[in-house]
A and B are shown apart, each in its own frame.
Chain A
Amino acid sequence: MIPGRVVEIENLSFYYGAQRVLNNLSCGFAGHSICAVTGPSGSGKSTLLTTINRLWEEVDGARVEGVVKVLLDNMEIDLHESKIRLAQLRRKVGMVFQIPNPLPMSIYKNLTLPLRMAGIKNRDQQRQRVERVLQDAFLWPEVKMRLQSDARLLSGGQQQRLCIARAMILEPEILLLDEPTSSLDEGAVSEIENLLLNLKERCSLIMVSHDLEQVARIADSSVELVAGSLV
């Protein structure tokens, strides 16, 4: 792996059934920066992201060829070779989706869900972590009085910041973002962009975006995908 990089992809091809989505692709993403993946719809940007946390395995009939290596805890891990547990990987490689996906439960429970699933059951610890990620996501002042209300009552932008907070609560080293602002209005977009810039210190961000202005505003580097190949 080239020094400074946290993800290294070599000769990656991806198939949904007989359809080829990624075509013998090689690239890498640097650590503690925002790396953008751009390109037209259907070019395989989101698919590329899901090869890094192996979320593609949730899709029936999907198949992958090639090498994906990630650097976690300063250890180089080959996702297709090593026996890293899926849960372990996904706790270290968080993901935020295009459409905010809070679960139908309270704000507080949404945030403690990853902790509970990871076996962190200490109530005080949970409370502290929730407050910290909400502070980090600039959401604390807005929701501290209503942590027990349904997360789906938040505005779109708030929901997305909640989802980012939820993804950050297990302190991942890599955060995958699949067009995190495309469903939001302008004001919410700039809030999220500020948030992402702040997160650079703590983890490496890989963001799919089709908004080239946004890429110019916040990304440190970018790669462009067209029809499953790098341009």
Chain B
Amino acid sequence: MINRSGSIFSGHTFLLLLTAGCGLLILAVLGFMVFLGRPLFTADFFNLFMSSVWAPDQHLFGILPFVCGTLAIVILSLLIAFPLSLGNAVLINLLLPQLPAKFLYRIVKLMTGIPTVIYGFVGISLLVPFLREWSASGSGMSLLSAALLLALLISPTMILVFVESFTAIPQPHLNAVAALGGNVRHKLIYTLLPGAKNGIMTGLLLAAGRALGDTMIALMVAGNATAMPESLFASVRTLTAHIALVMAADFDSTEFRTIFICGIILYLGTLILTLTLRVFNRNGSKADLERGLS
């Protein structure tokens, strides 16, 4: 297929076609979801989808509880995972001697490869019973259990990105602080955090994307109730879990079509995260360029 004589299938064109194909495929997915969910884009769209009651037998298809459930779980898991990951990265970069630091880093790396269903298992057999006893109400399958587990799932991604951006801090900067009598806290405040601003934001957004897209954990431990999330111990359903649940039971009904709307919402959510990441990184490097130091 690759031909140096200048036919349209020269290497360059070929790669261009492949790239364009991938790009189009992503757009096609969106188009596909809109097309299949099309019967629902009717006049009473908002009544149907933005109401908070999900009762298909009464012809009520409110997916707002799932949107809220997703947001609650994502935000809560980020709130738990962010300080944890930052601390971990500081431990690896500053506090631990080389060998234990390397060991911890390896473990974190290993954790990124563990399938989420495993975390789900562990959650069901350890975390859920524990929270059930602790909260003394409900089944233990709740917003909190899913957020805790999800925090564990997204932390490795964040830690790795944080560690990478901390490692990029020039040693002379750290030496400057150390030679002036600065301690670890000073190094963190005056060099690592300001220098790794972009990396920290990147880590956060990547983790948010992972939390948003994860299905298994919420499906297994969040409880999947269709009500609005009202407390930490409430059973909630996320958009992803909703898609999985409906898909397993049905294939052609109004109920089934709602999962495409869920899909579109997730798609747009991820898109917004990705674009934010882009804009942020571009601004970061532009600011560096303006300072004459990229």
Contacts and interface: CB of A to CB of B under 8 A. Distances in A.
A41 to B, nearest CB: 18
Interface string B145-189: 000000000000000000000000010111111111111001000
Contact of B173 (A55, A94, A101): A101
Nearest to B182: A117
Interface residues of A, number: 31
A210 interface: no
A88 B181 contact: yes
B183 A58 contact: no
A191 interface: no
A101 B181 contact: no
Contacts of A113: 177, 180, 190
Given A58-B174, A103-B176, A118 B97 contact: no
A102 B176 CA distance: 8
A103 B177 contact: yes
Given A60-B97, A60-B98, A152-B291, A103 B181 contact: no
B195 interface: yes
B6 interface: no
A40 interface: no
A104 B179 contact: no
Given A117-B181, A150-B291, A153-B291, A101 B176 contact: yes
Contacts of A87: 181-183
Contacts of A170: 180-181
A97 B172 CA distance: 8
Interface-central residue, A55, A86, A90, A117, by most chain B CB under 10 Å: A117
Nearest to A85: B181
A89 B183 CA distance: 12
B116 interface: no
A114 B190 CA distance: 11
Contacts of A60: 97-98
A104 B195 contact: yes
Interface-central residue, B173, B178, B191, B291, by most chain A CB under 10 Å: B178
Nearest to B191: A103
Contact of A53 (B179, B183, B194, B291): B179
Given A60-B98, A86-B181, A90-B180, A101 B194 contact: no
Contacts of A152: 291-293
Contacts of B98: 60-61
Interface in B75-118: 97-98
A89 B97 CA distance: 23
B179 A94 contact: yes
Given A104-B194, A150-B291, A152-B293, A99 B178 contact: no
Contacts of B291: 150, 152-153
Interface-central residue, A61, A99, A103, A105, by most chain B CB under 10 Å: A103
Query: Which 9 residue pairs are nearest across A and B when measured between Cβ atoms?
Result: A101-B172, A90-B181, A87-B181, A95-B179, A60-B98, A114-B180, A91-B181, A101-B176, A117-B182
Interface of A: 53, 55, 58, 60-61, 86-91, 94-95, 97, 99, 101-105, 113-114, 117-118, 150, 152-153, 163, 166-167, 170
Interface of B: 97-98, 170, 172-183, 186, 190-191, 194-195, 291-293
Given A90-B179, A91-B181, A105-B194, 8 more contacts: A58-B178, A94-B179, A97-B176, A99-B172, A101-B176, A103-B190, A118-B181, A167-B179
